[in-house]
């Protein structure tokens, strides 16, 4: 093939490849049903995360304000970043035995890497993940949370 | 008269000058600083400066237990987090001689391949964007979203999963997992054709990628360039074939090889690898056996005294983990042989005598992830 015909065939194939590419973008342009973007702040009420989504660490409480945490501190030792602090107390039971109860279960969201080791290793399944994801606050002290609610106690049959 | 005009012009052209490309430059994909010596627009020499995102992961591993190391490896090559986790798990399981259940092997292989597709899709997006095709970026991210949804439904995170644990998985996959993966495969087969129509055949793209940044097979072996970048030069270096782990010795797949060694062949290797990954998933997704999602492991893992090495094929090349243990619950030394760091070494060689715009294309085709370089 001489250079003259090659020049024009190159131009032809070049234009053809451009038109093929533009046909793809054109197809999406004229079919608005395929739009996948979300209008985020507007759809906040309808937006639902998956049930296993790791948003925020919580300690589930039942209707009597009771949780399952024994204050053993396994989550604290397993946490790689020191984002969990368990402060526990010892109380004397009526029968003379001493029992450890939880005073404060402190969770630093700012240090958490969401590795889920605390939830996995907890022997009494006291911790779980919440589906909230809007964590932005104006003051970083708000990122330190106390997970057990005030006045809460442990469910009776948990050892 | 002619001499008077020409002399000053020539002396300016012959002068070399240095330009800092990065650390804040969109086409270096992170905080990588390249000190480029230029003559006019031609790259004469290139010196990468690393360390802007060094977090000391290797040192942090020395204080962590083996379960805790998993979440640090996520943060090295964050685009193939599952594969990094897999390397640590295989290392621990190999040292303790634990046999993981079949179900775990199946799920791990499927997730690794999904992660590889997601990584290549993001690479395709940014590669198109670096060469001036912004549409690619939107299309690639749109399709990657489907994989992230699969991940999010099963274990709650999209990018940094920490899902594998020595001996198995954190929890079982979601009941919808199989259906979602099958839907995705059907969807993605259609979309990869779009990738070819938009970018692979585009005349502007071909002009900018063919014959640019040629990496010969000898150079690839000498510099240890593994992964799709090495296979684009014809070097068969797939760990999945050479040292099979998980289910890779039982599934059939082709090791994608190309022999030109230029930017275009590295591009085509990755596009074909996406198809091969989908083939692997298709062979496995229908016959995931029932069973436990984890082998029985002690709560505190202590590796026997000795040295261990484990390599896996990450989305960028060979990820090797070298570990020395003295019998305690923490390793004495962990060393990660990360693919991006090794691949970066060859950038100087293959970008010499190229234009600075080609340097962007070459850098993108090596698929560098900066936290993987600095660790």
Q: Do B154 and A52 touch (CB under 8 A)?
A: yes
B174 and chain A in contact, CB less than 8 A:
yes
Predicted ipTM of the assembly: 0.83
pLDDT at residue number B2 = 52
Alpha helices in B172-251 (DSSP H): 177-195, 203-209, 217-223, 227-231, 239-242
Q: What is the mean pLDDT of residues B252-260?
A: 88
Q: Which of B199, B223, B217 is nearest to B209 (CA)?
A: B199
B344 contacts: CB under 8 Å, gap ≥ 6 = B32, B48, B50, B366, B368, B373
Count of domains in chain B? Answer: 1
Rounded distance, CA B18 to CA A58, Å? 54
> What is the per-residue pLDDT across B79-115, written as a single tens digit (0 to 9) for each?
888 999 999 999 998 888 888 888 888 988 999 999 9
Does residue B285 form part of some domain? Answer: yes
Q: Which of B144, B257, B133 is nearest to B191 (CA)?
A: B144
- The pLDDT of residue B117 is 92
Mean pLDDT for the stretch of residues B262-268 = 90
A117 near B CB under 8 A = yes
Residue contacts between A and B (CB atoms, under 8 Å): 71
| B175 touching A (Cβ < 8 Å) | no
Contacts of A120 in chain B (CB under 8 A): 165, 170-171
pLDDT tens for B146-195 read 899 898 888 888 888 888 888 888 888 888 888 989 999 999 988 888 88
What is the per-residue pLDDT across B14-57, written as a single tens digit (0 to 9) for each? 688 888 887 887 777 778 888 888 888 888 888 888 888 888 88
Look at residue B362 and tell me if it is in a domain.
no
| Token pair of A93 as six digits | 């039971």
Distance CA A24, CA A74 (A): 55
Put simply, the chain B residues between 294 and 353 with a CB less than 8 A from any chain A CB are 299
Please tell me the distance from the alpha carbon of residue B331 to that of residue B329, in angstroms, as a whole number: 7
With beta carbons less than 8 A apart as the criterion, state whether B109 and B284 touch.
Answer: yes
pLDDT one-digit tens code per residue, A38-87: 888 888 888 888 888 888 888 888 888 888 888 888 888 888 888 898 88
B225: tokens are: 């360039």
Average pLDDT, stretch A108-132?
A: 87
Indicate which of A16, A20, A116 best probes the interface with B, i.e. most B CBs within 10 Å of its own CB. A116
Contacts 24+ apart (CB under 8 A), B47-56: B47/B348, B48/B344, B48/B347, B48/B348, B50/B341, B50/B344, B50/B373, B50/B374, B51/B374, B52/B23, B52/B370, B52/B374, B53/B370, B53/B371, B53/B374, B54/B374, B54/B375, B55/B371, B55/B374, B55/B375, B56/B375
Residue B8: its H or E element: helix B2-14
Query: Is pLDDT of A13 > 70?
Result: yes
Q: Give B26 to chain A, closest Cα distance, Å.
A: 24
What are the residues whose beta carbons fall under 8 Å from the beta carbon of B35, sequence distance 6 or more?
B18, B19, B20, B21, B46, B47, B48, B49
Residue B167 and residue B96: Cα distance in Å, rounded?
Answer: 10
On whether any CB of chain A is under 8 Å from the CB of B160, the answer is yes
- For strands B317-325 and B333-337, give the pairing: antiparallel
Q: Are B77 and B55 in contact (CB under 8 A)?
A: no
- By the CB < 8 Å criterion, does B172 face chain A? no
Quickly tell me which residue has 């005073």 as its tokens: A103
Give yes or no for A35 touching B (CB within 8 A): no
**CA pair distance B212, B223, nearest whole angstrom:** 19
Residue B365 counted as domain residue: no
- Is residue B274 a contact partner of residue B121, using CB atoms and an 8 Å limit? yes
How far is residue B288's CA from residue B336's CA, in Å, rounded to a whole number?
31
Q: How confident is the model at residue B322 (pLDDT cuts 50, 70, 90)?
A: very high
Question: Rounded to whole angstroms, how far apart are CA atoms A20 and B205?
Answer: 13
A153: tokens are: 């106690």
Q: What is the mean pLDDT of chain B?
A: 86
Judge whether B201 is closer than 8 Å to chain A, CB to CB: yes
**pLDDT above 90 (res A138):** yes
Tell me the domain boundaries of chain A: 3-34, 56-154
Q: Note whether residue B17 is domain-resident.
A: no
Cα of A25 to nearest chain B Cα, Å = 8
Cβ pair B171:A25 closer than 8 A = no
A31 touches chain B (CB under 8 A): no
Domain assignment of residue B211, given as a range: 54-339
- pLDDT above 80: residue B256: yes
Which CATH architecture fits A56-154?
2-Layer Sandwich (3.30)
- Out of B72, B153, B171, the one facing A50 most closely (by C-beta) is B153
Which one of B128, B156, B207, B329 would you mutate to disrupt binding with A, by most A Cβ within 10 Å of its Cβ?
B156
Residue B347 lies in a domain: no
Residue B171 near chain A (CB below 8 Å)? yes
Cβ contact (<8 Å) for B71 and A78?
no
CATH classification at residue B312: 1.10.645.10
Distances (CA, A) of B14 to B7, B45, B195, B240: 11, 14, 42, 48
């Amino acid at each position: 093939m001489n250079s003259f015909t090659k020049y024009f065939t190159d131009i032809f194939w070049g234009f053809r490849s451009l038109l093929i590419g533009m046909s793809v973008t054109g197809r999406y342009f004229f079919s608005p049903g395929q739009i996948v973007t979300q209008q985020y702040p507007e759809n906040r009420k309808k937006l639902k995360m998956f049930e296993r989504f790791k948003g925020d660490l919580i300690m589930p409480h039942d209707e009597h304000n009771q949780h399952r945490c024994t204050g053993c501190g396994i989550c604290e030792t397993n946490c790689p970043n020191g984002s969990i602090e368990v402060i526990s107390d010892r109380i004397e039971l009526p029968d003379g035995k001493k029992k450890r109860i939880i005073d404060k279960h402190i969770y630093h969201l700012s240090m958490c890497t969401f590795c889920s080791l605390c939830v996995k290793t907890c022997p009494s399944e006291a911790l779980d993940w919440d589906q909230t994801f809007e964590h932005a606050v104006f003051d970083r002290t708000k990122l330190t949370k106390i997970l057990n609610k005030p006045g809460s106690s442990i469910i009776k049959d948990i050892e | 008269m002619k001499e008077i005009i020409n002399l000053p012009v020539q002396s300016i052209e012959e002068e070399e000058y240095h330009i800092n490309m990065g650390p804040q430059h969109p086409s270096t994909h992170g905080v990588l600083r390249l000190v480029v010596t230029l003559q006019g627009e031609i790259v004469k020499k290139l010196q990468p400066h690393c360390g802007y995102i060094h977090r000391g992961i290797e040192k942090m591993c020395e204080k962590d237990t083996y379960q805790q190391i998993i979440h640090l490896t996520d943060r090295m090559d964050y685009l193939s987090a599952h594969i990094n986790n897999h390397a640590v798990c295989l290392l621990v399981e190999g040292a303790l001689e634990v046999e993981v259940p079949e179900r775990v092997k199946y799920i791990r292989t499927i997730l690794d391949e999904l992660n590889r597709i997601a990584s290549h899709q993001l690479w395709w997006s940014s590669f198109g964007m670096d060469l001036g095709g912004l549409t690619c970026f939107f299309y690639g991210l749109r399709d990657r979203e489907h994989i992230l949804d699969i991940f999010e439904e099963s274990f709650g995170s999209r990018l940094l999963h920490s899902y594998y644990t020595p001996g198995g998985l954190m929890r079982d996959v979601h009941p919808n997992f199989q259906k979602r993966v099958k839907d995705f495969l059907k969807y993605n087969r259609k979309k990869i054709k779009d990738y070819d129509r938009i970018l692979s055949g585009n005349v502007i793209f071909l002009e900018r990628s063919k014959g640019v940044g040629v990496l010969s097979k000898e150079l690839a072996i000498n510099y240890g360039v593994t992964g799709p970048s090495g296979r684009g030069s014809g070097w068969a270096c797939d760990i999945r074939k050479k040292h099979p782990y998980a289910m890779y010795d039982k599934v059939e797949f082709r090791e994608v090889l190309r022999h030109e060694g230029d930017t275009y062949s590295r591009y085509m290797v990755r596009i074909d690898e996406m198809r091969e990954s989908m083939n692997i998933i298709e062979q496995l997704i229908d016959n995931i056996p029932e069973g436990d999602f984890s082998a029985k492991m002690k709560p505190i893992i202590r590796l026997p005294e000795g040295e261990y090495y484990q390599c896996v094929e990450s989305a960028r090349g060979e990820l090797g983990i070298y570990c020395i243990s003295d019998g305690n619950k923490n390793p004495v030394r962990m060393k990660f042989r990360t693919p991006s760091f090794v691949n970066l070494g060859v950038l100087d060689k293959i970008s010499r005598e190229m234009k600075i715009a080609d340097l962007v294309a070459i850098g993108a085709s090596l698929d560098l992830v900066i936290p993987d370089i600095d660790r």
